[in-house]
Structure 1
Amino acid sequence: MKITRGKVIGVVILLLLCIPFIVGKESKVKGFPVSIFSSYVEGDNPKEHKYTAFLPDFAIWIDGWEKQRSEGEITAYKKGNRTVIVHHPPGDDGYYLHEEEYAK
């Protein structure tokens, strides 16, 4: 198989298209990734954090978070003894992150 300039350019373009789904940045919930294109939106409730854009499932999985349950617009992710609830209301272009706190 001969490596040509077209194949190299094709692979580079494919990798660039995959970056938003793979790479994430840390959110206000420590250790939980959000999309690199997400922006934080100040809200009324300081325990809920709203972000715009989409949630990168692959980046969440790479960071070690496991999808626990999903009921309609609410999804729970767990890592160790921490649980993060993601709420994506219909008709809204953002999503909310809320970390559950348990009394030990």
Structure 2
Amino acid sequence: MFHTDCAAREVVDHVTSRWGVWVLISLQRNDLRFYELRESIQGISEKMLAQSLRALVKDGLVWRRVEPTTPPQVTYGLTEFGREVGEPLAELFGRITRRLSPGSAG
């Protein structure tokens, strides 16, 4: 089950990466453009956001839509699989936030 060749292990690594979890939580409410997603996740660089999104799109958790405008507008959202995986993460974040004192939660 935890063999290095296990496809699920790679997806779990992407989901639980430093930024993957925040991307999935951020996309729970709305589809977002790249810059909106970057602004919603404080501390993430454009490079790390792009890498995280690329992995999550490849894994089938996030979809990507490019509008043929100048410059192109790129929007991201959760697939059904991404919603299934992201919901418990958002719930976990909510539970932790509620347990912390009001001044220490983000």
TM over 0.5: no
Pick the structure with more strand per residue.
1
Q: Look at both structures and tell me which one has the larger radius of gyration over its CA atoms.
A: 1
Pick the structure with more helix per residue.
2
TM-score in terms of structure 1 length: 0.30
TM-score in terms of structure 2 length: 0.29
User: Taking CA–CA contacts closer than 8 Å with sequence separation of 6 or more, which of the two structures ends up with the larger relative contact order?
Assistant: 2
